Amino acid sequence: MEKYAFVHFSMNTFMDVEWGYGDVSAKHFNPTDLDCKQWVKLFKASGLKGVILTAKHHDGFCLWPSKYTDYSVKNSPWKDGKGDLVRELSDACRQAGLKFGIYLSPWDRNHADYGTSKYLTYFRNQLTELLTNYGDIFEVWFDGANGGDGYYGGARETRKVNRRTYYNWPSLFKLVKKLQPKAVIFGDGGPGCRWCGDEEGWVGQTNWSTLYKDSVWNGYPHYKELRYGHKGGDMWVPAEVNVSVRPGWFYHTSEDHKVKTVEQLVDFYYQSVGRNGTLLLNFPIDKRGWIHEIESERMLQMTTILARDFKDNLAPKAAEVTASSIRMEDEYFAPEKVIDDNGLTYWVPSEKDKKPFIQLNWDAPITFNRLMLQEFITLGQRVSSFQVEVLLDGAWKVLDQQTTIGYKRILRLPTTSTKGVRVTILSAAAVPLLSHIGVYNAPKLLVAPTLHRNQKGFVALRSSDPEATLYYTLDGTDPTSASKRYTAPFIVRTPIEVRAISADEISGDKSEVTAHLFTSDKRNWCVFPPTEETKSNDPSFLFDGEESTTYMQTQKELPINLILDLGSKQSICGFTYLPDQARWSKGIILGYRFYTSLDNQHWSLVKTGDFSNIKNHPILQTETFPSVEAHYVKFQAIRTTDGTAIAGYAEFEVLVSK
């Protein structure tokens, strides 16, 4: 299937949490305009083949009217308690021709009997409801999170279980296979497909689809093994790469500005499907019951880019396909089978050929930067290592060397012009069987570059495509291919606006313009009085131009003062504040006072106020005021969004008048 959707939508959405305790009323679940067809329309347009719905997360709230609990949609205001979200989504999937799957959390922080044998009966009953009332299920997803603190019917305690034995997994797997014989079962160790060992959108470049039988279980401590699989394993358990389009699995308004970029979404594809895995891409549904417009737009952009990358396969245009050997000289196993676009045919070299190679030759040079390889996976994953060579100036040059192939391997290579491409199998568990070779020339991914300036004044431009050419200007005009070409960080210390683009020198295509006005010279800035520097909390993080670093101030009570020595008297006209951008941000400042001083003793209040809606949108805040002279500034946090005496800064900058 290659890629399909995950959907997280439940009580957590309305309580603005990731893991609910199961202690809030069902009356909080009330989407204003739920539309499963909107979800499915986007999935279909994005080329996703199916949807897995979190029918019940750890908080125990059920998205279907389960007859075994009151904690479900039947006691919510949504559709007056007569709704069934599982039904609506499963019906929408079938109408659109998408497969439908179920996530059912084994852990239940709401149920009073969790941890006892009674809960196991309850869990089996719920699983039976889901697998008998909603048609064909293509995958059943069992989470590895099991046991811990919870509401548990009002007990409010911590309950631990042996996740290997408590649920009687063999019995549950038999139940799934009885009710849904074709369903794939997900878990750390399968038995159908496995977790990829991270939730970051990638699986190992070496990725075996096999595991050793019974060696991995839910909650497996050596989870990093799952990124690579077990070479020689006796169970077929391919990796499924689950990742969310946002930092969290559920929707939070505060993460609207943290939706994955188009470049990141494209990377997810290459680092999952392109590495012998499948991509399970999660969509947090918002309180309306919609997929937010931001991710809708970016998913369609991702789809357009991938379609463009693989639009024109140059392999079938080869003048000839040759190989080092062919098994039994049988036409059925001929080298040409790798370009016939038939997944049931394949090239088979001789068993005596220890390093077989297959070669594509063109009459005229072709230019390419993507190589797709596929084994005939019906007969197993075999290739352990291979290399790619190109014919340059009459000699073969190694372009890349990698390990596994599997169902599909896609290499992003340096753009190269050649009349010949050769793939050599360096090692394999058995006679290698290649069913497909694709050769493509993907256009450059031209997205507006990012601008970063450190405290010393060096500005660095960063592009999403390492082969794109970057141009920039310092005079306020939009850059073109005739502008200054970026080759290394450059210094900006006086107030200047930097504008930049990414461009393809061959096609002439270019990205949108990115621009940033740098006003201040921060070389001599420092926090006053000097504070202790630690590796994780360095005051210079305030000015380093990197959103990923954070400076934290912690006191017993508010207000908290941040005093900066600007090094000399400056004419200033404002400031910018970027709160902590970590997944679970701390110390977001809501209310502030801003003071200036010439001697660090006599202070003048210049501005006071609140950052409107900063809790929901912790983005860069810019405040301006009439120019004033200052040698020192004091930014005073008087209120934080969570009421704590913690002030967190990803970046802070004083704006200098031109």
pLDDT tens track for 12-35: 999 999 999 999 999 999 999 999
Burial of 134 (0-12, 13-18, 19+ CB in 10 A): buried
Burial of 645 (0-12, 13-18, 19+ CB in 10 A): middle
Closest CA relative to residue 36, chosen from 83, 74, 104: 83
The answer to whether the beta carbons of residues 615 and 588 sit under 8 Å apart is: yes
Angle between helices 117-132 and 169-179 in degrees, nearest 10: 20
The answer to whether the beta carbons of residues 246 and 259 sit under 8 Å apart is: yes
- pLDDT tens-digit readout, 564-609: 999 999 999 999 999 999 877 889 999 999 999 999 999 999 999 9
pLDDT of residue 633: 98
Here the tokens at position 176 are 């799934």
Dihedral-angle region of residue 34 (phi above 0 means left; psi in -120 to 50 means alpha; beta otherwise): beta
Here the tokens at position 53 are 């719905």
Is the alpha carbon torsion for 114, 118, 119, 122 positive or negative?
negative
pTM: 0.91
Closest CA relative to residue 193, chosen from 230, 238, 228, 227: 238
The answer to whether the beta carbons of residues 60 and 110 sit under 8 Å apart is: yes
| Domain architecture of the chain: domains with CATH | 3-309 (3.20.20.80), 315-440 (2.60.120.260), 450-518 (2.60.40.10), 526-656 (2.60.120.260)
Helix/strand/coil for 316: helix
- pLDDT tens-digit readout, 256-266: 999 999 999 99
pLDDT of residue 61: 98
The answer to whether the beta carbons of residues 331 and 292 sit under 8 Å apart is: no
Q: How many residues are listed for the chain in this entry?
A: 658
Helix/strand/coil for 127: helix
pLDDT of residue 144: 86
Give the residue ranges of the chain where pLDDT is below 50.
none
Helix/strand/coil for 545: coil
The CA-based angle 652-653-658, given to 5 degrees, is 170
pLDDT of residue 329: 66
